[in-house]
Structures are given as C-alpha cells and as structure tokens.
Structure 1
Amino acid sequence: MSLEALHERVQMELACLAYGGAGWVMPHAHSEGHVYDVVIVGGGQSGLGIAFGLMKERVANILVIDENKAGLEGPWETYARMRTLRTPKHLTSIDLGVPSLTFRAWWEAQHGPEGWEALDKIPRKEWMSYLRWYRDELKLPVRNEVKLTLIEPVQDGVYRLSIEGAGAPSSRLLARKVVLATGIQGGGEWHVPSFIADHLSPRWYAHTSGMVDFEPLKGKRIAILGGGASAFDNAHFALAEGAEEAHVFVRRKEMPRINPIRQMETSGMIERYYSLPDEDKYSVMAHFFKNNQPPTNDTFNQASAWPGFHLHLDAPWLEVRETADGPSVRTPQGWHSFDYLLISTGLLTDPALRPELKLLEKHIARWGDRTGLPHDPAASPVLDAHPYLSPGFAFTGRSEEGSRLLHGLFAFNYSALISCGISASALSGIRFAVPKIVSAIADQLFLDDKEMILRRFFEYDEQEFTGHWPADSKANITSG
C-alpha cells in the first residue's frame, strides 16, 4: 500500500462513520466578534487528537493554536533528543479507533508489513512526520505562530484570549471553551534548582528541556544532573555530537529498575484510574513519584557505550560555583570541574506559574485543598500543587464564584496527572483520555444551551409522515 492508497482508505473509513456531518452546537454572538465553541491551545499530539475527537462529535466551530512554526509542534523536533519513543510500538494513540489513522497503517503504507515487523520502537523524527501527516489528512484547523498570553473571562460564558505572534489574526480570540493541551511543561515550568540559578551565570548551564547548542560543546566535559531518561538521552546526544565526556549525576544509591507505567498499561489502571476515590489516587501518585521511572534499556545502553560516559550514583549536587575556567560541582565525593552543565531536574507543576492563568489561578482548586488524604511528607508538597480536576479534565473552583469563572476551562497537560492519571502526559494513556475530554466538552456545550435546545425540541412540529390514501384504496382504516 502507498500513502496515496492509505489516503483513500482513510477517507472511506471516515465516510463510513459519517465524519463531518452537520454541527449541532448553536452559534453564540458577541459584540467583540466571532466566538469559537472551542479553542485548543497546543497543536501537538494531544491538541490534534482532541480536535479530531470534537469534529467526530460534530463540534466543528473550533480552532487549534500553537506558538511554534508548522511542523515543529511539541518536543519532537525541539528539545527531545531520544532516538526513539519510549513506549511500545503497538500502543495506539490519537487514531480514536480509526485503523487507517494509526501509526502502524502510516508506517506500513511506506515500508510494508515486513517493515512493521522489523521495527523495534518508533523513531522520534518519524513520529513527528506521522503527526504532520495526521494533521494534513484530517484537515484540522490549526493556526501556527500564535502564542496565548492571557485568559480573561467575560460575560455570557465566554473567554477572551489575548494572543500574539506572526500567525495571530488579531490581538484576541473569543471562545466558550478553552483547552490547555500544552504538554509536559504546560502545567507549570521547567525547574532549575535555586542553588544553581542563583550562583551560576546562564552561560554555564542549560535545562535539557530547552534548545541547547551542542556545537561549542565539542571536546568539552559536560555534567548532567538527573537520573531520568532525559538525562541519558542528553548524555548520548552530547557524546554523539562530539563532547569528550558526559557525567550523569544521580542522587540515588542505585538506579531505579521498575517502571510502574508498564504495570499500569496492562492492569486497567490507566483507563479506569479516574474512577478511584481521591485517597487512592493520591496514594498511587505518591508511590509513582517516590519510585520514579528508570531510563529505558536502549537509552541507557546507547549512552553508556561511549568511552566518555561516566555515571555517578549517590552523588547529589550540594553546591556549585563559578570559576575562571567554568563551573564546579560539589557532591559527597568532593569537587568536580566541568566546561558546561545540563540540568535535567524535571518541572514544577502549579497553575500560579502559568502567566496565561494570572487572572484565574487563585480560583483554581488544588489537591492541597482536599482534606482526609494520606499525606506523605516526601511527596505531598509536589502533589498538593497540582490542580484538582474533574474526570473530564475541567478545572474546579475553590468557591462558587471560582467555579463560575472556570466553567469552560480544561487542562489536558501534565498537571492532570494526579486527577486523571497517565493520560495527557503519556502516549500510554492518551487513547483513553481524549474521548473523555471530548465527551466532557460536548456535554458542557449541550448543557449550557439546554433551555434553548429543549424549547426547540418541544416546539418542533415539522411533519415527516406525508402518507394519504386515494379514494379507491382498499385500505381499511378505522378511527376510534
């Protein structure tokens, strides 16, 4: 099969599903201009999947915006540096049950069934190529180079979105529903510990989530702080780009070896997580954060195969200082001198860190607002800062006023982890999560207009049956 043949198959399957039928959501007028039923912030895999899901539900007055240039949405061509995705290749994601829209169908159209069998894991760059094809194939309404700067609630259940960028059609958009499909960093910010940020010039370090220029690092000694997969991805990448040495520092005495996501993928935990009571959700995620995930075997092996790779266990950074020759790091084993530091310490999640939520974050309920939870002193502060979301990824309010102001605002990013599980934050869960948020958005739109919809239902009097009998008909019709 070729890509052209796959295109025909996609269109046939969508036609069989009556995709693209007439919309049912009633248009809303506003003095400031057009009102979208839904604006999705983020044109990566989550935003594209939600857009397709809404259009399947005949909610078509939507727009997806992304601050990046077309084809550069998400991390895949920016800061992601792994060779392959970390999830098993057979997991489906944003196809939403349409076989021809799976990565496998796209791959086999180019490489045949034998190419699929030969594939171990999905190459990172090929995943991005698939997402570009998916967007084009479905003709999803994405506008690139548009950055959201502020969400402001206005009257009649409408949000005003302040936007900027080369692709912005104006300085604002209006929307009834707003979905923050903003990826791992969308619920807070990437974290550089203060003992680094306060004592080193930015010329000596970078966070691994950002754009790093590896050209000046050729022949240099690099230190990487962090024991997750990203730390090893960056070690391998730096060495492949010509760095002389890459030292990975891990605070644990041993590398973690158990990946809890693998258990969750087969136990029903991912798809049924939302049904757990709050205390169980809290315990599950406290355990998840406490045990963390190991790097994949191939990621570790790729990095450790380089002669210049060094792994330091039981070696937390206690202090950093700047010298004339570069940064130095102190661990329990002493001082180490390097030419450059890469920080792979993950992120902090808190709506207060998001500038677009500046007017609303004080109204957003957090997990720390809940009572009766099994607090673990080691994990609770991290968990407590996460927003407390509905099973459909909607923000909830700390008060009645907050609930009113937040009605219509959804978080489909890493901040949903405690409330909704491994969903918006991992390919393992996205195929279960997208239908949930799509259903929640459509339900809200329907219930918001319930009075008008019911009035039109009760007033409906269009005659469908037009049968009549001619005078010489043999039909025997009795009344009464």
Structure 2
Amino acid sequence: MLRLCEVLSATLQRPLPIAVVGGEEVPSFLPRHAARTLVFVFQQRSSSLFRGALRRNHYLTLRVAGSVPALVRYASDRPNCRAQAHQLVGAVRQCNPVCLFESHFGKSNAFYVPLMEAKPMAKRARGLRRRHDANTKQIARLSARVRRELSYLGFPSREWTVPRFQDGARVLDVLIVGGGQGGLAIAFHLKREQITNIRIVDRNPRGLEGPWLKFARMAMLRTPKEVTGMELGIPSLTARAWYEARFGRDAWKSIQTFPRTAWREYLNWFRDVLDLPVENEVEVTAIGPSGDLLLAHLRHGQRVERVHARKIVLSTGIEGNATWRPPQNLVAYVPATRYAHSADNIDFRRLKGKRIGVLGVGAAAFDNAAMALEAGAARVDLCFRRAEIPRINPLLWGHFAGILAHFGELSDLERWRFMRHMLEPPQPPPQHAYWRCLEFTNFHWHPNCGWRSVRDTGRAVSVETETGSFKFDFIIFATGTETDLSSRPELAPIVDQIALWRDRFTPPTGEENDELGSYPYLGNAFEFTERTPGAAPFLRRLHNFTYGAMPSLGLTGAAIPGMKYGVPRLVNGLVRDLFLEDAARHYEDLAAYKVPELATLESKYDWISGLDGDALADIGVAAGAKPPRRKRLVS
C-alpha cells in the first residue's frame, strides 16, 4: 500500500493520501450509491493488505473513471506503477465490496485508477447515513407503489382451481423447482392468474439462487440494461425502477449493462415485494408418476418429503438439462487438486504467485482468467483451438419480438437451422471482460492451441498442445456445459422416456449436430414429450423452463431477454391445462350456482330497513338513513 502511494505520488508530482476503512468502526448500515460515486466498506478480515490501515478510522471512496475530475492518471509505459495499481485493484475485488467495483478505461495508452483522497470516517459517516436513509425511503416508496398498482390489476380475484387430495394432503397445483429469476417470474404470473396453491423450492440458501453470487464472475451482465419481462408490464416493478430508487437516476444513466451484484439484489427485492414463498435449502431428488399426478421427493437436510403435484415446472437455468464437467480425456490422469471447472467454487486466493492455464475462449474463460490475475497469479495463459477469438454473438441477433414470441411455431427444419447458426459458433467474451484481462502484462492468449494431453509431473502439470507445451500449477477448464438429461438426478427415474430432438427429427445430410440432437424435444408450453407415443402420458405434466428449451422454443427458457415472452407462454399453458382438466367440475359448479344478482323485489327503503348495522356498513349506508323522497306524479 505504501509503495503504491509512493509510485503514484511520484507520477503526479504531489502527495497522495490513501486510506481504507474496516473493523468495528464501520456503521451497521451498508453505504449506497451517491450520484456517480461508488463507496466501499471492507470487513476487517477481508484482506491482509488492508489490515494495517483499519485503525486510522478512514475509508476509501472510489469514483467511476470519467465521471468526476478527481482521478489519478498515469501512462501505461510505467510498468512498476501499473503492477502496483493492479495489486490494489485485485485486492479491492477480492474483498467482496458491498458495491460493485469496475475499472473503466479511456484511451488505450492510459490507465485510470479511480481514487479520491480519504476523509475521516466520523465526518463522512453522517453523509453516508443520510444517503442510506434517503435510498431506503425511496425503495419503501417504490415497494408501496408496486403493491398499490397491483391492487388496481386484481380482477378477476377469484381462486378457481379445484382442490384435490392425496394421502390426506392437498395436491399442489404447481410445484416450481428453482427460485431464481425464472422461478420468481413464473410464481408471480401464476399469482396474477389466481393460482395460489403452489410451492417454490430451491436447494441453495437465500440470496444464492442462480449463478450470480456463485460461479458467475463477470463484473457486468452482457444483457442490455433496458431488458424487461419479469415485471409483466408493471413499470414500477422493472429493474430500472428499482435501480433508480436504489442508486439514483444519474447512476442509471452512467451504466450500459446491469452490474451482476445489483441484479442479484434486485431479485431479492422482487421476491420480497411480491411476497413469493420460496423455500430455500430444499432439493428435489426425484420426480416420477403417481397415478394421474406427479410425485416429487423433496430433501430438507436429513428429512425427505413426498409431495404430489398436478404440474411441476423445472426452472433450473443453464444447468437444468446439462452438466458442468472438464474434458474427461484430459483430466483422467491429473489429481483433482490441480484443476477446476469454471463453474466450480474456486478459491482464487490460493492461485497467487502460480502459473495458471485456462482452456476456453468464451466469457467464462476470460472472467476466470481475470479473477486469477487480480488474485496475483504469476502468469495466466488462455488457450483455445480456434484461429482467432470469436467476435460475433448470433444470439444477440435474436433480440426481437418475432423470434422471441413465435420461434416455437416454426417447423422442425426451420428451428433446427436457426439453432445451428445460433449455437454452433462459440459466444465471444464481452468487451469489458476482454479489457479486464488485457490490463495485465502477465496475461497471454494463444490461438490454434488445442490441448492434446495433460499429465501431472509432481511439481507441475504438463500440457501438450498443437503448438507446443506448457507447464502450469493449476488449470481452469472453461469449456461450457454438456447437454445430458441423465446427469440430472431429479430426472433419473424417467429420463429414458423423454423424447430428444434426435428421436423426433432427422436433419438433412450435412446439417447434423450431435449436441443439438441431445436437447429435449418440448411441446408448446415447455412440456416434455414421450419418446414412445402413449408410453408416458404423465410427461405432459412436467415442464422444462430451462436453457434446454432453446431448440424447441427459442431464447425464452433461461435467458433474461426471453422471459417477456417465455413466462406468459408457460403460464398460459399451465392455466389452460388445469382448467380443461377440471372442465366437468366447473360445469357442475355452474349448474349449482344459485347466488342472486337481484337481491330483493322490495323497495330500496323497505329492503334497507330490514338490514342490521353490519350489513348496512357493507353496502355503505348509514344507520338511521331517511327514506328517499318520492317524486310527485303530475296528472
């Protein structure tokens, strides 16, 4: 830290005080966005780099480069200065700040370190508390507005599904597996349709649903910040409304894509403001038929619960129909301590000073490489078999209403051809992910560098490639997912009965794709279909709202941009099936319906006179009201 101060001060030809906050002096509230300033408070045990500064009762305020004049600028031809600055940036990111930190860069020949002179904690804490209180009030007002607007949209308000019972317990109308963004949006839409006999379960603790605080290591989402869909057309429920209330309108204008940690915080608020009953740390271990229902086994710690449901929706995201696994031919003779998949829980602090190899060229490869570099890795080599880094993302082409809403209406051949062009090319890393790695002089990428073999030599891992050999201390495989329904434990009892694309469609010669053929072949409402017609009719009750729905229904099952169209398609199918299944019962209910709309044939005065006080209050008439004056008839 002191060395960094000296280097930057020498560059600027003036003193540069730097301080960091931590320890018990930190107020219990979390600092919030104030205009375009990002304020960070680090916990006492976050990083040894900062412990020496904790007793100074100071804190560090980082401002987004380009938004304020108080920036430290230095030329990129000062390698010592760059190295010291990268150590600071890496330490900041390791400390898991309560607000997102992302460095922004201007010209390619300059590097900006966003710093501001520190001020005493006691003086600035009052300002932080005022901003925190103001933001808390804004969120409270927004939440109240959401509830008020929902009350305007409450018609029809009648719960209409017919109760069914099995083994003495009520059968669920819908069981939603997954409490991430998809599960929350589905539950909200079902509530709007007055289907309330539902449960939402997720195997993760609260706040860790989905990838956002686990293996997603990007600084910003690649999805445009303007995307909508979860809110079902209610403006006050949009991510933008929440972000502006949380951080301010100027903060919204300053971002291009949504910060990852802010998106996770938005999902937490979405769940709370809508009172969605997610049950955390509950895992679905098996799903199978039980008569004309589905039976799910739910594990709560050591206890297993059997739950019957008319419908089950799998909303388990990108891994819902796939598995994360490194190439087995490369790791067969390598100890598990020497490698990890990019989706694993990696302790990047242990990679400090080590030589790291990354296999892959997509966003996950660059995100994990950046995490290793920021943790102090001695060198990171990113290898891929292609001749160049991909730059075109065909999935972005599909962000328009026609394909998002109606892809499922295309013929099998048309859908197959669209998906081949969308999924066969690798997705490129986002620009900010590429620049994040390029900050470091010890980062190297190697095209035409497919790996042929990996073996452990005891002191290192030796990798033979198409262009030479490498020695690494640790390897990260950023090789994506492998579509395989049999890898999902909840589907194991029934996986052999589920139809895949290769069971239903034979592509023309030259257009084969084994990976695409392994995706499930789904119906119009995301329901699984039978491999052998008539052999497994219960599959129409099981809906697959995951990334595996792409070949059948397009970018609607797991991606944020597709939810605007995918969630209504799914929920409309659920509502339709539940109603049609009980149509006879609804007809019986109609035949027995005897509630009069015309309540009486008496005069209004005589009828009101016979009511008690409570009944009068219900119809809005005060007790003791005088009879209405009768009009005189003129002959």
Closer, same or farther: CA 410–267 of 1 in aligned 2, 3 Å: closer
SS in 1 for 2:357: strand
Other structure's SS at 1:15 match: helix
Q: What is residue 387 of structure 1 aligned with on the other side?
A: 520
Equivalent positions of 1:75-86 (< 5 A) are 75-86=211-222
Closer, same or farther in 2 for the Cα pair 1:376/1:433, shift >3 Å?
Answer: farther
C-alpha separation in 1, matches of 2:531 and 2:467: 47
Taking a change above 3 Å as real, the CA distance of residues 204 and 376 of structure 1, as seen in their structure-2 partners, is farther
Q: Does 1:43 align with 2:143?
A: no
Asked if the contact 1:386–1:418 (Cα under 8 Å) also holds between the matched residues in 2, the reply is: yes
Asked whether the 8 Å contact 1:204–1:339 carries over to 2, the reply is yes
Asked if 1:447 is matched to 2:580, the reply is yes
Give the Cα–Cα distance (whole angstroms) in 2 for the partners of residues 453 and 180 of structure 1.
Answer: 28
After superposition, the Cα gap between the structure-2 partners of 1:372 and 1:321, relative to the gap in structure 1 and judged at 3 Å, is: closer
Matching residue within 325, 342, 345 for 1:191: 325
Q: 2:423 pairs with 289, 310, 331, which one?
A: 289
Which of 161, 171, 174 is the matching residue for 2:296? 161
Match of 1:30 in 2: 166
Which residue of 2 is the match for residue 9 of structure 1?
145
User: Aligned pair in 2 of structure 1 residues 266, 294: CA closer, same or farther (>3 Å)?
Assistant: same
**Structure-2 separation of matches of 1:398 and 1:428:** 30
SS across alignment from 2:258: coil
> 1:266: how far off?
3.3
| Per-residue CA distance 1:233-289 (angstroms, 9 max, x = gap) | 111111112212221111110121111122111373222211211111101111112
- Is the counterpart of residue 111 in structure 1 residue 247 in structure 2? yes
Amino acid at match of 1:308: N
Task: State the SS of the aligned residue for 1:265.
Answer: coil
CA contact (8 A) 1:20 1:55 kept: no
Residue equivalent to 1:351: 485
Cα offset for 1:457?
2.4
Identity %: 38
Separation in 2 of the partners of 1:25 and 1:417? 30
2:465 maps to 1:338: no
SS of 2:464's equivalent in the other structure is strand
For 2:224 and 2:239, the matched residues in 1 are separated by 12
Structure number, greater radius of gyration: 2
Aligned position for 2:312? 178
Determine if contact 2:486/2:495 at 8 Å carries over to the other structure: yes
**1:370 counterpart residue number:** 504
Tell me how far apart the structure 2 counterparts of residues 114 and 204 of structure 1 sit (CA, whole Å): 45
User: Is 1:431 paired with 2:564?
Assistant: yes
Amino acid at match of 1:423: T
Cα distance in 2 for residues equivalent to 1:375 and 1:298: 40
2:550 to 417, 422, 432: 417
Structure 1 CA distance for aligned equivalents of residues 147 and 175 of structure 2: 25
Contact 2:285-2:298 at 8 Å conserved across structures: yes
1:396–1:283: structure 2 CA closer, same or farther, 3 Å change rule?
Answer: same
Between the two proteins, the alignment pairs up a number of residues equal to 469
Among 441, 451, 461, which residue is 1:317 paired with?
451
**Alignment deviations for residues 4-32 of structure 1 (CA, whole Å, 9 cap, x no partner):** 11011101111111179331111111115
Alpha-carbon distance change, 217 to 390 in structure 1, aligned in 2, over 3 angstroms: same
Distance, in Å, in 1 between the alignment partners of 2:265 and 2:465 is 42
Displacement of 1:460 after TM fit?
Answer: 2.8
Shift, 1:371, TM fit? 3.4
Identify unmatched segments of 5+ residues in structure 2.
1-136, 604-629
Q: 1:278·1:373 contact (CA, 8 Å) conserved in 2?
A: no
Provide the rounded CA distance (Å) in 2 between the counterparts of 1:314 and 1:114.
44
Letter in 2 for 1:212: I
Unaligned runs of 5+ in 1: 475-480
> 2:367 aligns to what?
233
Tell me which of the two structures has the higher relative contact order, counting C-alpha pairs closer than 8 angstroms and 6 or more residues apart.
1
In structure 2, the partner of 1:477 is none
Separation of aligned partners in 1, 2:378 and 2:158:
61
Residue-by-residue CA offset, 1:278-329 (whole Å, 9 max, x unaligned): 1111011111122232111111111122112111111111111111112111
Counterpart-to-counterpart distance in 2, 1:11 and 1:375: 56
Distance 1:260 1:52 in 2: 31
- List per-residue Cα deviations over 1:85-133 (Å, max 9, x = no partner): 1111011131111111111000111222222111222111111011011
Partners of 2:401 and 2:165 lie apart in 1 by 47
Please tell me whether the aligned partners of residues 394 and 421 of structure 2 are also in contact (alpha carbons under 8 angstroms).
Answer: no
Matched position secondary structure for 1:242: coil
Task: Name the CA distance, whole Å, in 2 between partners of 1:238 and 1:340.
Answer: 10
Q: Distance between the aligned counterparts of 1:339 and 1:316, measured in 2?
A: 19
2:376 to 242, 254, 279: 242
Higher deviation after alignment, 358-367 or 451-460: 451-460
Alpha carbons 2:231, 2:237 under 8 Å: kept? yes
Q: Deviations over 1:192-219 (max 9, x none)?
A: 2111232211111111011111121111
Q: Report the Cα offset of residue 170 of structure 1.
A: 4.7
State the distance in 2 between where 1:20 and 1:231 align. 49
Query: Does the Cα contact within 8 Å between 1:248 and 1:312 map onto a contact in 2?
Result: yes
CA distance in 2, matches of 1:79, 1:20: 41
Provide Cα deviations, 1:45-97, integer angstroms capped at 9, x if missing partner: 01111110111111101111000011111111111100011111011131111
Give, in angstroms, the shift of residue 469 of structure 1: 7.3
What's 1:55 paired with?
191
1:138 deviates by 0.6
